Chains A and B, each alone.
Chain A
Amino acid sequence: MTTTVATEQALTQRQLKARAGRRRLAGKLSAIIGTLPMMIVAIGVFVIGITFTVVLSFTNSKLFPSFNFVGWRQYEILWATPRWQQSVINIWFYGFGHIALCLGLGFALAVAIDQRIRGEDAFRTVFLYPFALSAVITGLVWQLMLDPNWGFQAFVRSLGYTDFTFAPLANSNTALLGMVVASVWNGVGVTMAILLSGLRGVDEEIWKAARIDGIPTWRTYISIVVPMMRGAVATALVLLVVNVVRTFDIVIAMTGGGPGISTQMPATYVIDNINSRNVGHGMAAATCMLLPIAVLIIVQAVYRWRASRRGRTT
């Protein structure tokens, strides 16, 4: 009697286990079906797409892909082309200016807003709204402001200073500076928001301790607070670098790449080469654009790996 009950129990348990196993399997199957779009994009677009671009950069593809391999030819031509050289110089100059100003001004604004000021929300709203506007709009508005005939120069001249000159976009030596001003106007609010959340994440006790020790406020910021919020700084920096490498819209809207080739960027170079049916060459330029991002990702991976290892040993 008791033995039959036991076997019956064992049986039902085994059946239950089998049913649970089937259900788990069905769930996993559904998960795979549900994430098919993700897998198609990950493999089909990112892996195969990037491979396709890199492979084509070694061919002499014109409008359609051809698999006529020419080795490093496209890269040799690329780096001997003045417009590409100028694009690379431009993106370093623009990138340095944009990132330095966004971080510097963004940090200053975040610190100022963090001082328990009146109307904090109003200030934050004003600093952030340009980010809601597209790069095309940013470019167009600042083009007007910097146009010597209508903009800032005309305004100062109308006040009586008739030989005042301020026309950065008209001069190939200063056009990039105008673009930096416009892009900082658009992007500094986000940097401020990220850094502000970093500042707010620093424990209040740190400030009390620093004050008791008589450390001046600026010193506390530089030596204690900034190192503590390096996560926020890193996030802002990565975001800025990625955006700089992509820079395209603002160039088209603000200067069209001119005067001459003074505001050309790698992104405009790639698109122009695809449009002018020189795909192999354009893909070589695109592959070069991938390099700084690849470096960034490797650095981050190493950093994370070291952090996780440190976490395990302690």
Chain B
Amino acid sequence: MSAISASAGIEPSGPRPKQVTAARVGIYAFLLIAALFFLIPLIVMIMTSMKSMNEIRGGNIFALPTQPTFDYWVKAWSSACTGVACTGLAPGFFNSVKITLLSVPISIVIAMINGYALSFWRFRGAELMFAILVFGAFVPFQVLVYPIIFGLSRVGLFGTLPGIVIVHTIFGMPILTLLFRNFFSSLPVELFKAARVDGAGFWRIFFSVMLPMSVPIAIVAVILQVTGIWNDFIFGLVFAGRENMPMTVQLNNIVRTSTGTVEYSTNMAATVLTGAVPLIVYFVSGKWFVRGIAAGAVKG
């Protein structure tokens, strides 16, 4: 970090002013206040999850816990009530893991083949299909919810694990296809032509040439999908069914179930546990995550 700012200092002075002036102090003050605004909810969330309800009642939300405890984490994980069942978040966690592990590879493989075919094997109507797909990325889910419920129940997949995986694959397809199409289009055509001259066909070129080259963009796609599917609420709510309820839906149920005084300690512990996965992905993947966001934004 300091190395970066040191090297920035050596750079020839650019167009933007960088002396220690009132303006500069103002910029730092603005950034620090903004950082506080962004950080406080996370700090409050974690601290509240470690306080007893008595302490929350007596103190204030910005105070450090006097006797930090993980009891509420244990309760949120294994015994908090979601509706009628008091099994905690654990079943939801494993459901989310199952849904994510199935949906991510399937949706990425399909999108990869789509992007490859759209870039090198254009056939009549392919562009139209792609245009419809990208248009689909804009359509609010609520417009399609009933037709999909209807379709999935007709084939007996409504409220099942394959059902929710299909829904995630459908709604991941537009943006992922766009991502891979843009990536494959940026590769030199000579690469493809050379493989053609050597006699390789559609699948051979895909597996031997394109797949190994697309590892970096696939990582971006994995991050995009893992965080997106983990954070999903409405698809899980509508399509997963009671048996496969993902963690986010269970989290909301735990919070809604509490009767009488809201038990914020347990609620915040459940929130911390649910948010841990995407936060870890974010902090570990860093620049890749940002690239994923940028890619997700390109759909505009």
Contact = CB atoms under 8 A, between A and B. Distances in A.
Given A123-B35, A126-B39, A134-B248, A35 B114 contact: yes
Q: Which of B38, B230, B279 has the most CB of A within 10 A?
A: B38
B241 to A, nearest CB: 15
Contact of A56 (B140, B146, B271): B146
Contacts of B264: 144, 150
Say whether chain A's binding surface is mostly helix, strand, loop, or mixed.
helix
Nearest to B205: A27
B294 A286 contact: no
B251 A115 contact: no
A121 B8 CA distance: 13
Contacts of B14: 116, 204, 207
A118 interface: yes
A39 B133 CA distance: 8
Contacts of B150: 52, 65
A117 B149 CA distance: 51
B275 A116 contact: no
A194 B173 contact: no
A239 B297 contact: yes
A88 interface: no
Interface stretch (A71-79, A170-178, A246-254, A305-313): A246-254
Interface stretch (A1-9, A92-100, A161-169, A264-272): A264-272
Interface stretch (B55-63, B81-89, B157-165, B183-191): B55-63
B298 to A, nearest CB: 7
A56 B144 CA distance: 12
Given A140-B251, A217-B17, A133 B133 contact: no
Contact of A297 (B24, B60, B138, B232): B138
B127 to A, nearest CB: 11
Interface in A229-261: 234-239, 242, 245-246, 248-249, 252-253, 256
B170 interface: yes
Contact of A116 (B16, B126, B151): B16
Contacts of B133: 38, 41-42, 46
B45 to A, nearest CB: 5
Interface residues of A, number: 109
A44 B71 CA distance: 49
Interface residues of B, number: 101
Say whether chain B's binding surface is mostly helix, strand, loop, or mixed.
helix
Interface in B43-95: 44-45, 48, 56, 59-62
Interface string B1-13: 1001100100000
Contacts of B286: 125
A236 B297 contact: yes
B105 interface: no
Contacts of B44: 141, 144-145
Contacts of A53: 143-144, 146-147
Contact of B142 (A27, A127, A204, A270): A270
Contacts, number: 299
Nearest to B277: A132
Given A132-B279, A133-B279, A289 B140 contact: yes
A127 B38 contact: yes
Contacts of A121: 1, 4
Interface string A106-126: 001100111111111111111
Contacts of A109: 31, 34
Interface in B206-255: 206, 227, 230-234, 238, 248, 251-252, 255
A207 B146 contact: no
B129 interface: yes
A129 B146 contact: no
A44 B133 CA distance: 11
A148 to B, nearest CB: 12
Contacts of A296: 138
B139 A46 contact: yes
A245 B140 contact: yes
A47 B297 CA distance: 24
Nearest to B272: A137
A252 B232 CA distance: 13
A26 B156 CA distance: 35
Contacts of B294: 193-194, 197
Contacts of A18: none
Nearest to A158: B60
Nearest to B230: A134
Contacts of A234: 300
Contacts of B203: 30, 34
A263 to B, nearest CB: 15
Contact of A137 (B30, B118, B262, B274): B274
Given A112-B30, A119-B1, A42 B136 contact: yes
B136 A290 contact: no
* Top 10 A-B residue pairs of the complex, sorted by shortest distance between their CB atoms: A207-B15, A30-B202, A134-B231, A238-B300, A31-B121, A132-B282, A49-B147, A42-B132, A46-B136, A270-B142
18 contacts: A27-B202, A30-B201, A34-B203, A38-B177, A42-B129, A105-B34, A115-B27, A119-B5, A129-B282, A141-B45, A150-B264, A154-B60, A185-B41, A193-B293, A194-B294, A271-B234, A289-B142, A290-B140
Given A133-B275, A145-B41, 17 more contacts: A23-B201, A34-B116, A34-B203, A37-B173, A42-B133, A50-B139, A113-B31, A135-B231, A145-B44, A145-B61, A151-B61, A204-B14, A236-B297, A242-B140, A253-B255, A279-B146, A293-B139
